[in-house]
Every structure is written in C-alpha cells, then in structure tokens.
Amino acid sequence: MPPELRGSRLDLRPLAAADEELYCAIYTDIELMRLVAAPLTADAAQRAFAAARVANASGKSHLAYWVLVERHQRVDIGLLGLLGQAMSDTAQVGAMILPAWHSRGYAAEAIAALADYAFSTLRLNRLHTRHAAANAAASGLMAKLGFVLIGTAAAGAHGHRWELRREHWRHSGLHAR
C-alpha cells in the first residue's frame, strides 16, 4: 500500500474500496475527460478502479493511486496516480481534479508532494506527464512545477509530453512548499 502524503492544504491518502464512486464519476465524466481521453463506460471504469486497487495492494511503489482530500473541509477533490515499470527510474504522474476545485492550486500541490516522494523515497530520476495540446491549464501547471516540454503534437489526447528530472526538482526550491 502506498504511504499517505501531505501537502500544505491536502492529504493524499491511498485509494481505498470506498473510493469507487469518486473514481468512476471522474473517469466517466464527459466534460472532465474532454482534454484527457475518451471517457470510460461505467463497466470499464469499474474494471479500472479494481485494477488500481490491486496495484495499490501489490506493494509495488512505482504503481500507486491516491485520493486528494482537501484538509479544511475534509472533502475528496480528485485523484493522483504514479505509473511506472518495475526496475525503472522513471514514472508517469497524472492528476484529475473535480471541476469545483479547479484553478485553486490543488493539482500543483498534489504533484509537488508526489514529486518529493518519488524523488526522495523512491529514488526515481524522472517523472513524465502528458496532456492534450489544447489543455492550456495543464501546460501552465507543468511549467509552474518545473517540468520541461519534451514533445508536442498538434492533435491527440496526449499531444504535449513533459519531463521533470530529480536534479532539477532538488535545485528548484519547489519541493519546500
């Protein structure tokens, strides 16, 4: 099971059985998924949730999922994932925030907490992320966190690819938030 992580306003707790409704609501939401990928069917979302729970229970630190909990109101506001291969020094990070909580810095806070964990505890060397070229908010978020744009494509769900290296993170000062 992945550890609990903390940001200044967020608690990141490992995905649990009780989180199926949140997970499925996010991944089946047409508007929320518009700039990410095609929304899942209800059955596909349930299967993906079950796979995420198995991944968390496996103890493989390079594959983990968290629920983002706004600490003051104790409200679940999104999901965070770390997806990597065993014996690799690289993993992909992804965050999904419910629309009511957009543009408040929560995604940045969650990814920063994950970057601290990934680079210090897991000793990963690189984090990657990707998003639709049309998702300007994601581009701003990645730049704010110090990710470097490493690839672009004009179209497609994952047209922009970003990378953050441990050395850059360590020297950025962003991890101290």
Rounded to an integer, what distance in angstroms lies between the CA atom of residue 22 and that of residue 98?
Answer: 9
Question: Has residue 16 got a pLDDT over 70?
Answer: yes
Q: Is the pTM of this model over 0.75?
A: yes
Domain ranges of the chain: 5-176
Mean pLDDT of the 45-65 span: 91
Write the Ramachandran bin of 59: left for phi over 0, alpha for psi from -120 to 50, otherwise beta. Answer: left
CA pair distance 145, 112, nearest whole angstrom? 7
pLDDT tens per residue across span 69-93 = 999 999 999 999 999 877 789 999 9
How far is it, in rounded angstroms, from Cα 149 to Cα 113? Answer: 21
The model's confidence at residue 152, banded by pLDDT at 50, 70 and 90, is confident
**Homologous superfamily, domain 5-176:** Gcn5-related N-acetyltransferase (GNAT) (3.40.630.30)
